[in-house]
Structure 1
Amino acid sequence: MEETVLEILEEICGTDEVRNDLDLDLFENGLLDSLGFIELLLSIQNKLKISIQPTEVTREQVSTPKKIIEYLNSKKGE
Protein backbone atom coordinates (compact mmCIF):
# COMPACT_ATOMS: atom_id res chain seq x y z
CA MET A 1 0.00 0.00 0.00
CA GLU A 2 2.81 2.42 0.83
CA GLU A 3 4.22 2.18 -2.69
CA THR A 4 0.81 2.88 -4.24
CA VAL A 5 0.29 5.93 -2.01
CA LEU A 6 3.71 7.29 -2.97
CA GLU A 7 2.96 6.73 -6.67
CA ILE A 8 -0.35 8.60 -6.30
CA LEU A 9 1.38 11.47 -4.48
CA GLU A 10 4.15 11.67 -7.09
CA GLU A 11 1.54 11.94 -9.81
CA ILE A 12 -0.59 14.56 -8.06
CA CYS A 13 2.28 16.62 -6.65
CA GLY A 14 4.42 16.31 -9.78
CA THR A 15 7.62 15.49 -7.88
CA ASP A 16 9.46 12.51 -6.44
CA GLU A 17 10.34 14.66 -3.43
CA VAL A 18 7.34 13.03 -1.68
CA ARG A 19 9.14 9.69 -1.87
CA ASN A 20 12.46 11.03 -0.59
CA ASP A 21 11.05 12.81 2.48
CA LEU A 22 8.07 11.11 4.09
CA ASP A 23 7.81 13.94 6.64
CA LEU A 24 7.50 16.63 3.95
CA ASP A 25 4.50 18.87 4.65
CA LEU A 26 2.61 18.74 1.37
CA PHE A 27 0.40 21.75 2.05
CA GLU A 28 3.06 24.08 3.49
CA ASN A 29 5.38 23.33 0.57
CA GLY A 30 2.67 24.04 -2.02
CA LEU A 31 2.63 20.48 -3.34
CA LEU A 32 -1.00 19.85 -2.41
CA ASP A 33 -3.98 22.20 -2.34
CA SER A 34 -7.68 21.57 -1.74
CA LEU A 35 -8.27 20.40 -5.32
CA GLY A 36 -5.23 18.12 -5.16
CA PHE A 37 -6.51 16.78 -1.84
CA ILE A 38 -9.81 15.74 -3.45
CA GLU A 39 -7.86 14.16 -6.31
CA LEU A 40 -5.79 12.27 -3.73
CA LEU A 41 -8.90 10.92 -2.00
CA LEU A 42 -10.41 9.81 -5.33
CA SER A 43 -7.18 8.08 -6.38
CA ILE A 44 -6.97 6.28 -3.03
CA GLN A 45 -10.53 5.11 -3.45
CA ASN A 46 -9.95 3.93 -7.03
CA LYS A 47 -6.59 2.23 -6.50
CA LEU A 48 -6.77 1.03 -2.89
CA LYS A 49 -10.56 0.66 -2.47
CA ILE A 50 -10.45 2.73 0.73
CA SER A 51 -13.19 5.35 0.85
CA ILE A 52 -12.47 8.57 2.72
CA GLN A 53 -14.89 11.46 2.86
CA PRO A 54 -13.22 14.90 2.76
CA THR A 55 -15.06 15.82 5.97
CA GLU A 56 -13.75 12.85 7.97
CA VAL A 57 -10.08 13.93 7.94
CA THR A 58 -8.36 17.15 8.84
CA ARG A 59 -5.52 18.63 6.86
CA GLU A 60 -3.22 17.96 9.82
CA GLN A 61 -4.06 14.23 9.76
CA VAL A 62 -2.85 13.90 6.15
CA SER A 63 -0.27 16.67 5.79
CA THR A 64 2.72 14.40 5.05
CA PRO A 65 3.19 11.18 3.05
CA LYS A 66 3.95 9.35 6.30
CA LYS A 67 0.73 10.59 7.95
CA ILE A 68 -1.33 9.61 4.90
CA ILE A 69 0.10 6.07 4.98
CA GLU A 70 -0.45 5.79 8.75
CA TYR A 71 -4.03 7.07 8.39
CA LEU A 72 -4.79 4.57 5.62
CA ASN A 73 -3.31 1.71 7.65
CA SER A 74 -5.57 2.61 10.57
CA LYS A 75 -8.54 2.97 8.22
CA LYS A 76 -7.83 -0.40 6.63
CA GLY A 77 -7.96 -2.03 10.06
CA GLU A 78 -11.49 -0.78 10.75
Structure 2
Amino acid sequence: MKLEIARGVFLVGALAVASAAFAAWQEPQAEVLTQNTLGYCPAPPHVRQAASAVPDKDLLLFMFGMSQAMRGDS
Protein backbone atom coordinates (compact mmCIF):
# COMPACT_ATOMS: atom_id res chain seq x y z
CA MET A 1 0.00 0.00 0.00
CA LYS A 2 1.34 3.37 -0.94
CA LEU A 3 1.98 5.99 1.70
CA GLU A 4 -0.54 8.41 0.19
CA ILE A 5 -3.32 5.81 0.27
CA ALA A 6 -2.52 4.83 3.85
CA ARG A 7 -2.53 8.49 4.86
CA GLY A 8 -5.91 9.02 3.18
CA VAL A 9 -7.42 5.95 4.86
CA PHE A 10 -6.12 7.14 8.23
CA LEU A 11 -7.56 10.62 7.64
CA VAL A 12 -10.98 9.21 6.69
CA GLY A 13 -10.94 6.95 9.76
CA ALA A 14 -9.99 9.82 12.06
CA LEU A 15 -12.77 11.98 10.62
CA ALA A 16 -15.25 9.12 11.09
CA VAL A 17 -14.26 8.72 14.75
CA ALA A 18 -14.47 12.48 15.32
CA SER A 19 -17.89 12.62 13.64
CA ALA A 20 -19.19 9.73 15.76
CA ALA A 21 -17.89 11.38 18.94
CA PHE A 22 -19.51 14.69 17.96
CA ALA A 23 -22.84 12.99 17.25
CA ALA A 24 -22.78 11.16 20.60
CA TRP A 25 -21.88 14.29 22.62
CA GLN A 26 -24.58 15.23 25.12
CA GLU A 27 -24.44 18.27 27.39
CA PRO A 28 -26.88 18.41 30.29
CA GLN A 29 -29.33 21.26 29.89
CA ALA A 30 -30.37 23.58 32.69
CA GLU A 31 -33.68 22.37 34.06
CA VAL A 32 -35.51 22.32 37.36
CA LEU A 33 -36.01 18.91 38.91
CA THR A 34 -39.17 18.66 41.00
CA GLN A 35 -41.14 15.86 42.55
CA ASN A 36 -44.38 17.81 42.62
CA THR A 37 -46.29 19.43 39.80
CA LEU A 38 -46.20 22.90 41.34
CA GLY A 39 -42.96 23.95 39.65
CA TYR A 40 -41.49 25.40 42.84
CA CYS A 41 -40.23 24.12 46.17
CA PRO A 42 -42.89 24.60 48.85
CA ALA A 43 -41.71 25.76 52.26
CA PRO A 44 -42.07 23.45 55.27
CA PRO A 45 -45.19 24.05 57.40
CA HIS A 46 -43.33 25.50 60.39
CA VAL A 47 -41.64 28.12 58.18
CA ARG A 48 -44.90 29.26 56.59
CA GLN A 49 -46.47 29.89 60.01
CA ALA A 50 -43.62 32.11 61.27
CA ALA A 51 -44.50 35.71 62.10
CA SER A 52 -42.55 38.53 60.53
CA ALA A 53 -39.80 40.10 62.60
CA VAL A 54 -40.54 43.44 64.23
CA PRO A 55 -37.76 45.96 63.51
CA ASP A 56 -36.07 47.70 66.40
CA LYS A 57 -36.90 51.41 66.56
CA ASP A 58 -33.43 52.31 67.81
CA LEU A 59 -31.57 50.43 65.08
CA LEU A 60 -30.82 53.57 63.06
CA LEU A 61 -29.51 55.34 66.16
CA PHE A 62 -27.38 52.30 67.03
CA MET A 63 -25.91 52.15 63.50
CA PHE A 64 -25.12 55.88 63.59
CA GLY A 65 -23.41 55.50 66.97
CA MET A 66 -21.36 52.55 65.75
CA SER A 67 -20.22 54.40 62.63
CA GLN A 68 -19.19 57.40 64.71
CA ALA A 69 -17.30 55.19 67.17
CA MET A 70 -15.41 53.47 64.35
CA ARG A 71 -14.34 56.79 62.82
CA GLY A 72 -12.32 57.90 65.84
CA ASP A 73 -11.08 61.38 66.69
CA SER A 74 -9.01 62.75 63.85
The TM-score, its normalising length taken from structure 2, stands at 0.22
User: Which structure has the greater CA radius of gyration?
Assistant: 2
More helix per residue: 1
Higher relative contact order (CA 8 A, sep 6+): 1
